[in-house]
Structure 1
Amino acid sequence: MKIAIKSFDELSRDELYAILKLRSEVFVVEQQCVYQDIDGKDQMALHVIGKDAGKIIAYSRVFAPGEYFEIASIGRVVVSIAQRNQKYGYEIVKASINAIQNHFHTSDICISAQCYLEKFYADLGFQATGNKYLEDGIPHMTMLYKK
């Protein structure tokens, strides 16, 4: 998988369409969650894109401190269903951490993680904090990464 990091303005029309399609396939259809994915925040995010054979198969968006949470953050982490056995989730999160460190010069990162992914994120260095809560009807928890 090849990783690219782009601002919203650097995304091609086809890339944006493929990103929104992938997010919809997983978050809306697979997880059966009706929510407002197009939330007006993509324009301020950096987009971490994983491609294989020219097709977007993994994705996340990252934010500078103060743009989403008080500290830098990662969101919309997604890997296509057909590619999940390749460990691309780990690669896209590691690339997201590196993007935050390189672009925003911080290692303090906050995520709103789906609870069933706690071990996945813990394996990448995130620690659960606070209480669990429902976000769009799905159990979530706040997790922090500090290097």
Structure 2
Amino acid sequence: MSIEIRRAGELAAAELYDLLRLRTDVFVVEQECAYPELDGRDLLADTVHLWVTEEGELLGTIRILHADGGRPIVGRVATARSARGRGIAARLMERGLALCGPTVEIELHAQDHLEGWYGRFGFVRDGEGYLEDGIAHVPMLRPAAPA
């Protein structure tokens, strides 16, 4: 099992296609959530994609955005159905958070039922819950560690 990390400009077309296909399979098909998965942010210069493969099979992915040069935003955390329960997303989160560094505040928008899971990584609720495409979400923040 290996973790790949690429900035948007370093992605091969086939790699991007595989990442988008996995995210579509999870968010659009499995969760029956018709929303614009292609949001224009995957190819922004400062977007970082992380993913896990094993024997050529894509098992999971996350994306880190740096919105307008501000704090990093972790999102699009997705694991292939066949790979769930193996700690794939946790490994990706740990690696992604390490890339951001401990002294940086990090944002994410979690599906409500995953609030506790993201809490394992130091994230805390940062506002009122909301519905996004019919799914309950909660804004979360991992506070920066003192420098």
Does TM, normalized by the shorter one, top 0.5? yes
* Structure 2 match to 1:25: 25
Task: Provide, for residues 91-142 of structure 1, a one-character-per-residue CA deviation record: whole Å limited to 9, x for no partner.
Answer: 11111111222xxx85210001100101110111111121100112211001
Work out the CA distance in 2 between the residues paired with 1:120 and 1:73: 17
> What percent of counterpart residues are identical?
34
Question: Which structure carries more helix by proportion?
Answer: 1
Work out the CA distance in 2 between the residues paired with 1:134 and 1:13: 33
The two structures have a TM-score, normalised by structure 2, of 0.90
1:32-111 equivalent positions in 2, closer than 5 A:
32-44=32-44, 45-64=47-66, 66=68, 70-101=70-101, 106-111=103-108
Q: Does 1:129 align with 2:131?
A: no
Work out the CA distance in 2 between the residues paired with 1:114 and 1:17: 24
Work out the CA distance in 2 between the residues paired with 1:121 and 1:66: 24
Query: Which consecutive aligned stretches of 4+ in structure 1 deviate over 3 angstroms post-superposition?
Result: none
Aligned length: 142
The two structures have a TM-score, normalised by structure 1, of 0.90
Q: Which runs of 5+ in 2 are unaligned?
A: none
